[in-house]
Structure 1
Amino acid sequence: MKSSPLARKAAAFGASAAVLGAMIAGLAAAPAQASTQATAGKAGTAATTAKARPKVSVSTPKASTRDYEGACPVKVGITAKVNVKLDGKTDLAYRWLHGDGSKGKVKVLKLKGHGTKSVKIGQTLSFDESVKGWEAVQVLSPRKVTSKKGYFSVNCAEEVVVENGDDKKVSVSAWADPSSYTGPCTPGDKINFVGRIKVSDPSWVKYRWVLDGRVVDYGKTKVRHSRTVSFGYSPRVSERGYAVLQVVGAGDSSSDRAYYRVTCKDETPAPSVKVTATNLVTATNNDGCKVGAHATINSTGRARVEYTWSVNGTSVDKGTVLFGREGSRTVELSDRVLSGDATKGGKVTLSISGPRNNDSITQSYAACVAPKPKITVSSISVGQRNNFCADKRGPGVDFKATISSSAPTTVKYYWVIDGKKENPDLERQVTGSVDVTWGIAGAQSASETKGSVSLVVVSPDAASSATTFSVACPKTGV
């Protein structure tokens, strides 16, 4: 079924199904309304044939809650006062004018008396989604008068409730005020984001604002029951997006998205505005085989520039950079894990799109190299051999340590006794861990053997372990 122009206007206005239905019903009743209006006009004319039409004034409509924020659906009452200076009888015919351009049903009240009579009129609107609008009253008889516009807004901000580790309940909500702006994009906050933090028990709360996926503001505040936090935003070009209020440390809870829209009437860029991409630098991270990059986006004037990062022809990240004037911005590609042939090297490309032209830049990145194995050496254990004691020599000493590697490799090492290298470099294949040993004979004409010992690994990674030792032959009975 095709929608009528009125239905499309109401949808754009953001009205609820209830208001939309009322508007369409009012349109369907248009012939009857015209008849009623004509009747009202005749009645008014008949009653005032011999005298001037009564003076009429209408107050500016007021909403029961001008700026509502909370759970939806919600009903908003709109009231106004019509003052009629009477001298006998007359018919008061009026209707409501809606902010989307539609008109309500004509209503007629019969009035009589002398002097000024004040009549309070009203209506109730229902909304199940966020909306900003206005209402006005148009008096058709006995004199045509239209009131000023009465503005109102509804922000359906659902609260997200979580519990932190201390069993304290925390809830957050956020909304944009205003949620849209149209006009010159000059310096100064155009959009104000407001958030409310509620807690079950007084506590310090850390929070941050995230605008279109980027952290733009943060803080810490003491909340006894509830507290409002905010930050302002001043776009320099037309854009739309959202902000989220996050409570940090309580399950990283977030509010619903607070959407905004900015339309700059005078933002048309000069024909000479040009954007370029320069200074692309890539970096291969061998720890996990990843590639990252950064580059510079330049603009000769005010512009909105969209950019895309690609690795080997595949898009991996996107973003937007806003320029209020001529300048440069650095954009980064965070580390991306490589796999398959991409680990052998490839290309990173930054493509940009500006108001008047496009540009791109490409740079190669190096292949991943397996990281050097990490080597560790345990403490050295000391063992004693007493077979030399019978020859009036000190005991022999045996040394043992464990060499471990984070990856299979060949390890080169040597032993040092009392500061002197004992042997040429030795080699062992290590897959995980391996025990290595060394031994020395007992000292001549001594009952004990003592000194220092070190195990030194020289390849593929440097590591060592050292200790002192002192062992003696067992005493014999006298």
Structure 2
Amino acid sequence: MMSVGLARKAAAFGASAAVLAGLSAGLMSSPAQAATKSAPKVSVSAPKATPGDYEGSCPTKINFSAQIKVPLKGKTELAYRWLHGDGSKSKVNVIKLKGKGTKTVTVKQSITFKEDVKGWEAVQVLGPKKVTSKKGYFSVSCQKPQEDVRTHLDVSVSARAWASPSTYAGRCDTYGDKIDFTGLIKTDRPSWVRYRWVLNGEVVDYGKIKVREARKVGFGINPRHSQRGWAQLQVLSPDATSSNRAYYKVWCKDEHKGDHRDDHKGDDKTPDSHAGTLSATASVTTGAGCSVTGTGSVTSSKAGTVSYSWALNGTVLSTGSVEFGADGGSKPINGFSTTSEIKSGTVTLSVSGAGGSDTDTKSYVCS
């Protein structure tokens, strides 16, 4: 066992040897150290979060930025990456720089957070010299959106809808509504109510009425082919609500009521119940500046001239006529377009001729 005195002498000798070795190394490496002292000094600021302390609905995006200063003497490459508070790292980004003097580079990143978090971000420069910034702290506090709190001062509105009949089976080549939809609007005090009807996802009618306790509104459809679907009454104000969906079904049956007199038996040219029928089909679209465009067609099963007219909110805009041959058929007609702003209204296509008359009305709203 080494004595304490001998140990101290050995330690002193070791220390002296270490000092000599250090001096020797210093003398040998002094040129390199001088070069190191003159090497460019790279600095990087602590990342700044915007916003730094967020409170509100989530998910939300937080933006981070930091500045890196690099002295330049020609060309160099700046390599860096982001360090995250959870221990992960971003990919290495490389920016090529050139010039003389100190250049400041702003690096940025954005992170989306879906829940509460308190953390930090840092920037690690890997070249031309390795240096790591201080930590930039941030926090995210997610809050549920506040629901509108209703009081006794707010008007309460309810709506209910039904179809009458809910199922129709019969001829569809006749005029008049086959299915009528009725809606009942109730309020707890007299109020003006804005509403609209939606048929199979499309707005077909709308209006504004004064409701004191309860009031009915409605519209009807005259399908020309078998179908099924639904209608819903939607209240827009003063309290947004919707009725149930009123479902309906239409089954069109072709019934031929030919003239059964004996002198017409076996005569293929005997007219059936479709002879002389006439129908109008209209379509409305809105464009830039709430311009209105109407297009349509006329179907007739009888030869002759069919006259038609277009009306917007009750005012006739254009008229015309179309000729049908012996076999009748369906033909497109000239439509119309407006240049003035008309945000809402109804467009009506009216037709008349040897086969009778018909109208098709469409409502529109330009938002």
Provide the TM-score with structure 2 as the length reference: 0.31
Relative contact order: is structure 1 or structure 2 higher (C-alpha 8 Å, sep ≥ 6)? 2
